Amino acid sequence: MRAMIVKGWGGPENLVERELERPEPGMGEVLVRVHAAGVNPVDWKTRESGGLIPWGPVPAVGWDVSGTVEAVGPGVTLYRAGDEVYGMPRFPQQAGAYAEYVTAPARHLARKPASLSHVEAAALPLAALTAWQALVDTARVSAGQRVLVHAAAGGVGHLAVQIAKARGAYVIGTASAGKHGLLRGLGADEVIDYRTTDFEDAVADVDVVIDAIGGNHGERSLKVLKPGGHLVTLPGPDGLPADPRGVHASWVLVEPDLKGLEEIAALVERGLLKPLIDTVLPLEEAAKAHEIGERGRTTGKIVLTVA
């Protein structure tokens, strides 16, 4: 099978195509014929330095996948050959989704939303599960609460806006002025231009903050949270303030999650959640996809198609 691997840690030019043996599903696993693979910041961060990802003998890249079940391993009853599935297998272990085939534990996948193409479905798993696990599992957002989403037009942010809105929250997003109309169309009630306005001067009495940026955004967000509110940071534990001062502060590392994927698919089918696709490229242009992503100017997601 064709697959993209990292020939050496460093820049995008180190992503190269290779012929690898097609994997076989083990006990409790399925073999998926990949139709599309989503691209995420963690992909290029690990490509650059190896990161904390436990690599196997071949440093294959990628986690987000949408495709068709090709074969099932012993003990699998959830799926049959021909079923369309999507998911984020094995994270943070190596998955190797930038390939024609990938194996996955069966419960790391869910049935693909029927209303989405494979390209659209591949844009969802890691980003949507991150948003879901931050908002629902961790912060337990409920109707009537005020939710602030930083980088609201980004890969995680635009999905967090929709998920929070679907749960009845009043949603505030930060984004450049050119993306305000888009975010209002996704359900944001209020949008702040971070280039001209300090968010802490423009918003108050927030129940939940989703920080997809890191740096000093966590510390600054404490100023807008209600007592007992919840700050959820996504880039890493370094974004957590040393003294949360009367609020909850959590770092979320996304996990494979069948139930979460099913809940996300249900929102899609109800018309309450839709991924935005910024760029679609063929598998062999994975390096270009990383170059585009690393510029930090995308709206929504980048996806690779696999013939």
Question: Does residue 301 belong to any structural domain of this protein?
Answer: yes
Check whether 52 has a pLDDT greater than 70. Answer: no
Check whether 223 has a pLDDT greater than 70. Answer: yes
Give whole-number Cα distances, 163 to 141, 209, 278, 307, in Å.
Answer: 10, 14, 19, 32
**Tokens 């290029």, residue located:** 44
94 φ/ψ sector (left φ>0, alpha ψ -120 to 50, else beta): beta
> Can you give the residue range of the structural domain that contains 187?
127-251
Check whether 90 has a pLDDT greater than 80. Answer: yes
Check whether 51 has a pLDDT greater than 80. Answer: no
Percent of the chain predicted with pLDDT > 70: 99
Q: What is the mean pLDDT of residues 289-294?
A: 96
Question: Does residue 241 belong to any structural domain of this protein?
Answer: yes
Check whether 38 has a pLDDT greater than 70. Answer: yes
Check whether 58 has a pLDDT greater than 80. Answer: no
Do 117 and 141 fall within a single domain? no
Question: Does residue 256 belong to any structural domain of this protein?
Answer: no
How far from chain centre, in Å, is Cα 189? 23
DSSP state of 283: G
Quick one: tokens of 202? 């423009």
Check whether 245 has a pLDDT greater than 90. Answer: no
Check whether 54 has a pLDDT greater than 70. Answer: no
Q: How far apart are CA 62 and CA 91, in angstroms?
A: 9
Do 243 and 137 fall within a single domain? yes
Q: How far apart are CA 156 and CA 128, in angstroms?
A: 6
Check whether 256 has a pLDDT greater than 70. Answer: yes
pLDDT band at 244 (very low <50, low <70, confident <90, very high): confident
Q: What is the mean pLDDT of residues 197-218?
A: 95
130: part of which helix (H) or strand (E)? helix 125-132
Question: Does residue 14 belong to any structural domain of this protein?
Answer: yes
Q: How far apart are CA 141 and CA 122, in angstroms?
A: 26
Q: How far apart are CA 26 and CA 30, in angstroms?
A: 8
Quick one: tokens of 56? 């196997």
Do 134 and 146 fall within a single domain? yes
Cα–Cα–Cα angle for 105, 131, 259, nearest 5°? 40
Query: Picking from 43-47, 83-87, 251-255, which range would have the lowest pLDDT averaged per residue?
Result: 43-47
The domain that contains 18 carries what CATH number?
A: 3.90.180.10
Query: What's the whole-number average pLDDT of the chain?
Result: 95
Q: How far apart are CA 286 and CA 115, in angstroms?
A: 26
Q: Which residues contact 184 (CB under 8 A, 6 or more apart)?
A: 191
Is residue 153 packed enough to be buried (19+ CB in 10 Å), middle (13-18) or exposed (0-12)?
buried
Q: What is the mean pLDDT of residues 53-59?
A: 72
Quick one: tokens of 123? 């844009």
Model-level pTM? 0.95
How many domains, in total, are found in the chain?
2
pLDDT band at 230 (very low <50, low <70, confident <90, very high): very high
Do 279 and 220 fall within a single domain? no
pLDDT of residue 3: 96
Do 42 and 148 fall within a single domain? no
The residues facing 305 across adjacent strands are: 36, 282
Do 20 and 99 fall within a single domain? yes
Angle at which helices 41-49 and 286-294 pack, to 10 degrees?
100
Angle at which helices 258-269 and 157-166 pack, to 10 degrees?
70
Q: How far apart are CA 290 and CA 271, in angstroms?
A: 30
Q: How far apart are CA 177 and CA 124, in angstroms?
A: 25
Do 108 and 219 fall within a single domain? no
